[in-house]
Amino acid sequence: MTFMKKLYGAAATLALTAGAAMADPALIYDLGGKFDKSFNEAAYGGAERFVSETGGSYKDFEITSEAQREQALRRFAESGFNPIVTTGFSWASVFEAVAPDYPDTKFVTIDGFVDPAKHPNVLSILFAEHEGSYLVGMMAAQASKTGTVSFVGGMDIPLIRKFACGYAQGAKAVNPDVTVISNMTGTTPAAWNDPVKGSELTKAQKAQGSDVVFAAAGGTGLGVLQTAADEGILSVGVDSNQNYLQPGSVLTSMLKRVDVAVFDSMSAGSDLETGVKALGLAQEGVGYAMDDNNAALVSEDMVAVIEAAKAKIIAGELSVHDYTSDDTCPVLDF
């Protein structure tokens, strides 16, 4: 508790300013909480890796309301944490208000975008989710025997449509006649944590012929993976490697290496380079997961097709359409 007390004293008196002795990093999770088995939890995993590999320490905070975003950022900045990492795309406007007040503190927004010209102390880390989804879409279409694959999204927001659109493009690239079914769990934040609804959607999609389901839905996805295993069809996990959750039923996982982003940012400490970092296939920020759990499901031929496409994307010869660039998807209607 002595450490905590010191911290507390520092905060209360506002005596410490940025860049002071205790330059520990801090991590703020988005609404949905630390243990969402998905995005936020991946960030937590990266932070824990930082602790185990570097012996450092960090402080984290789970916001429970919109008003806490600014409060938490300021509280940590005033207490001398550096850098301060946030997860989720809802932080951009808060950074614009807070970052200028703490020029010596480095801020990291994962999934958010803040103009580096105006805010030189902010690092925006963006992932090319459409590229990773494209690859798992190819894998799904190859594995499908029915010629129908499907997608279960969490809350219906552009980011999730970006996943869905990339997935559909990949599937069509392998088999132009493939049918892609897409469903969103809901329109409220509750859609991130509704495994029952996820399960129902999976059953409905199976009834429509789908035999591979890609879940990009946070905690809802757990219900999708479970039901797919129960129903004897394949599923695709998201964000972290979820192959182990239902071994032999999860075809692969679309990796979005939030953990790496968090680990790298924390490890860089106050020397963190700011600006905009786009993490695509080339940077290994996104990808697909292969391990013992899905080795039997994926043939070498399948991998070869995917690797070829991956190389083309990295080389710039193949461009996957990003839904959020113009809010349209050429192969899928929402």
Partner 1 sequence: MDKMPPWADAVLVPVISLLLAAAISSIVILAIGENPIEALNYMIEGALLSSAGWGQVLYYATNYIFTGLAVAVASHARLFNIGGEGQAQLGGLGIAMLCLFIPFPHWTLAFVFAIVAAGLFGAAWAYIPAVLQAKRDSHIVITTIMFNYIAYALLNYMLVNVLRPEGAMEPASGNFPDNIHLPTFQEMFSYGDTILFRSAPANVSFFLAVIACIGIWVLVWRTRLGYELRAFGQSESAAKYAGINPARITIIAMLISGALAGMMALNTTMGYSERLVLNASEGAGFIGIAVALMGRNHPVGIFFAALLFGFLVQGGTELSFWTSIPTELIVVIQALVILFTGALDNMVRMPLVKLFALGKGDR
> 80 phi and psi, to 5 degrees?
90, 10
For 162-190, b where at least 16 C-beta lie within 10 A, e where not — what string? bbbbbbbbbbbbbeeebbbbbbbbbeeee
State the minimum distance, in angstroms, from the CB of residue 208 to partner 1: 23
**DSSP state string for 148-172:** EEEEEEEE--HHHHHHHHHHHHHHH
Q: Is 100 in the site for partner 1 (CB under 8 A)?
A: no
Residue from 80, 138, 85, 130 nearest 105 by CA = 80
Instruction: List the x/- string, 12-41, binding to partner 1 by CB under 8 A.
Output: x------------------x-xx-------
**Which residues between 40 and 99 bind partner 1 (CB under 8 A)?**
61-62, 64-68, 70-72, 74-75, 89-90, 92-93
Smallest gap, in angstroms, from Cβ of residue 142 to partner 1?
30
Q: What is the CA radius of gyration of the chain?
A: 21
If the CB atoms of residues 110 and 297 are measured against partner 1, the closer one turns out to be 110
Q: How far apart are CA 186 and CA 191, in angstroms?
A: 5
Size of the site for partner 1 (CB under 8 A): 40
Site string for partner 1, 156-185 (x = CB under 8 A): xxxx--------------------------
Q: For the packed helices 129-143 and 158-174, what is the interaxial angle rounded to 10 degrees?
A: 40
Beta bridge partners, 124, equal 109, 276
Q: How far is the CB of 33 from partner 1 (least distance, A)?
A: 7
Nearer to partner 1, 95 or 288 (CB): 95
- In 196-315, where do the E strands start and end? 212-216, 234-239, 250-256, 275-279, 286-288
Binding letters toward partner 1, positions 109-148, x by CB under 8 A: --xxx-----------------------------------
Contact residues toward partner 1 (CB under 8 A) are: 1, 4, 7-8, 11-12, 31, 33-34, 61-62, 64-68, 70-72, 74-75, 89-90, 92-93, 101, 111-113, 155-159, 187-189, 324-325, 327
